[in-house]
Amino acid sequence: MPAFLVIYLAVNRLVRLTRRDLHTLRAAAWTAFTGTAAGFLDDRTDGASVRRSVASTLPITAVVVSLLFQRYLT
């Protein structure tokens, strides 16, 4: 759990330090973090295979990336 917090704080710091016009970098950083976190949680629940974990995480990541691009580009 402490590693998850450290990664979250690092991504949060990275996003805050980037210039406002680098919207794509901000959205990509949060999307990568969300996808990794969701995949980790899915993998830990029932010991599923990597393919199943990735397949169940992709829709979540797609929603997050669409919301973040909407937030940062408007």
Of 7-11, 49-53, 59-63, the range with the lowest mean pLDDT is 49-53
Residue 1 has pLDDT above 70, yes or no: no
Alpha carbon distance 11, 48 (integer Å): 27
Backbone angles phi, psi at 22, to 5 degrees: -95, 60
pLDDT number for residue 56: 83
Taking only the tens place, the pLDDT of each residue in 10-53 is 888 888 887 777 777 888 888 888 888 888 887 777 777 878 88
pLDDT at residue 9 tops 80 = yes
pTM equals 0.70
